[in-house]
Structure 1
Amino acid sequence: MRIVVTGGSGKLGRTVVRTLREEGHQVVNVDRLGERGAVVHVDLTDYGQVIDALAGIDEQHSGTDAIVHLAAIPAPGLVNDVATFRNNLLSTYHVLQAARRLGVKRVVTASSETVLGLPFDVPPPYIPVDEDVTSPESTYSLVKHLEEQLAIQLVRWDPELSITAFRFSNVMDPEDYAAFPSFDADARLRKWNLWGYIDARDGAQAVSLALRNAKPGFERYVIAAADTVMSRPNAELVAEVFPGVEVRGDLGVNDTLLSIDKARRELGFAPQHSWRDEVAPG
């Protein structure tokens, strides 16, 4: 396919671009940042630039079959709230609206685990958390929730349109894993996302699966590694940090507490990478 990846210069984006190219797709990286020749510089808050870039760019491409929208201010607190709201919501609207106008029927977009209620200063209603939990606690998270709501209405307007939103957990590369054994000393260091993470390579796997398997309409999925960042057992962690929270089912010893059951069931998502393969647990 001819695929435009927005934010292809970011941490997850780099791996997504590489993975899709290795699968034989023609991939164009659209971003504000990146080396000349490796990226097409586009301001996604400018609709004219967005629809022009998706329609075709000289020798880069002559049209778009699918879009992977990863570009955003990537976390709360990096800029002021108004700037976060304006940049992220407007960019996503422009990308989705341009897709509709150009007849692009397959879109994968980055939502966020923050929509689940991070940093869980208010405990989650149950553990493991799944897609039914929506409790944005920051402007960044609120925007991600609004982006999901936007997608729901756009696919209602266009029943042939497929939009898949991934609530990605904290993205990690192999070089990040050296720090993981130190987390065991204090269970609260990483409680903010229920001790979750996603290897960038498995994040890219999820994107590839959605591009192949997603059906028309809107779906959202939690995307996380199969395990936690901790070597301490889940029962111990939950009892210490979230006493009284309902536990649904068997937590396993170190199984993810960000439920990926829906992604496994509907997309065939199967995380292949764990920090335990890179670094010996403490």
Structure 2
Amino acid sequence: MTRVVVTGGSGKLGRAVVREFASSGYDVVLLDRVPSPDLPDGVAFVRTDLTDYGQVLNCLLGVDDRYDRVDAVVHLAAVPAPGQIPDVALITNNVTASINVFHAARAARIQNVVWASSETLLGIPMGEHHPPYIPVDEDFAVRPKSSYSLGKAVEEEMARHFTQWDPQLKMIGLRFSNVMDETDYPAFPWDATPEAKTFNLWSYIDSRDGAQAVRRAVESDLTGFEAFIIASPDTVMDTPTIELADRFLPDVPRNAAIDGVSSLLSSEKARELLGYAPQYSWRDGR
């Protein structure tokens, strides 16, 4: 059985990821500062401070009689958004945790690492600073605008160099859009206040589809560093996307057709290289 360590597995996305792997027959170990409120049967929880390299290395080498090896690491643990703690504290916490996980995985000879990067690297919050074109993809340089997104840019650059040191290493950064689950959907759609969601072009990702993307990334036979946008194929709006683009992004070039309520964050690369196939929408319960 393949053993996957999931850091931050007690959070919103983390709980979905843990369920996805556990239900798919994996042996799952959850590392976090707090236990999950709905830990699946058979999943081990180890209380861990990911800013302490010794603890991280210990967890990736094996913990006493809990487990003795790890095949893959999914790193989700982080302060999840800017403004929650002071800027420097945020980037220090997040980047320290990530370098600890990356370095400990290398020391433990784990060559399968997937972690949560972020849509914020695309220039979010966009506001008056529009993207170079829409729909947005991974083909332009990252544009961090906060301590949180700067940390994600540092993580991607670190991963790029780690994979140069070891050609067999796989490090995949998933640039998740705003993670939502069924408890969030009663507030949808956002047509009455579309300006409230311009910051990420009215995009989101259902936590269950985010978890599917993580599993597919772990199971992929890619090597080296890759970054993927992971967003739902639709927006948080009922208003046609082209109408939103014409109103809020009139001068931004369009590099592909914009149909219906399609997202302006393209996950086509993830579809092609990972087989990512989103299945859930906030519209399902209407």
- Counterpart pick for 2:215 among 208, 211, 221: 208
- For 2:186, the equivalent position in structure 1 comes to 178
Deviates most, 8-17 or 131-140: 131-140
Please state if 1:88 is matched with 2:94. yes
Please state if 1:145 is matched with 2:146. no
Please state if 1:223 is matched with 2:230. yes
TM-score, normalising length from structure 1? 0.96
Percent of residue pairs bearing the same amino acid type: 51
**Aligned 8 A contact 2:15 2:36 in 1:** no
Please state if 1:73 is matched with 2:74. no
Q: Distance in 2 between the 1:20 and 1:13 partners?
A: 11
Please state if 1:61 is matched with 2:67. yes
CA drift at 1:196: 0.5
Q: Distance in 2 between the 1:148 and 1:135 partners?
A: 12
Give the partner amino acid of 1:142: L
- For 1:19, the equivalent position in structure 2 comes to 20
**Aligned 8 A contact 2:18 2:28 in 1:** yes
User: Per-residue displacement from partner, 1:103-157 (whole Å, max 9, x unpaired)?
Assistant: 0010100000000001102111111111123111101001101100000000000
Stretches of structure 2 lacking an aligned partner (at least 5 in a row): none
- Counterpart pick for 1:166 among 169, 174, 180: 174
Give the partner amino acid of 1:170: N
How many residue pairs are counted as aligned between the two chains?
278
Deviates most, 55-64 or 198-207: 55-64
CA drift at 1:39: 2.4
- For 2:138, the equivalent position in structure 1 comes to 131
- For 2:271, the equivalent position in structure 1 comes to 264
**Aligned 8 A contact 1:187 1:241 in 2:** no
Q: Distance in 2 between the 1:276 and 1:232 partners?
A: 13
Q: Distance in 1 between the 2:118 and 2:221 partners?
A: 19
- For 2:204, the equivalent position in structure 1 comes to 197
**Aligned 8 A contact 1:162 1:216 in 2:** yes
- Which runs of 4 or more aligned residues in structure 1 lie more than 2 Å from their structure 2 counterparts after TM superposition? 35-39
Stretches of structure 1 lacking an aligned partner (at least 5 in a row): none
- For 1:254, the equivalent position in structure 2 comes to 261
- For 1:103, the equivalent position in structure 2 comes to 109
Q: Distance in 1 between the 2:157 and 2:220 partners?
A: 22
Structure with bigger helix share is: 1
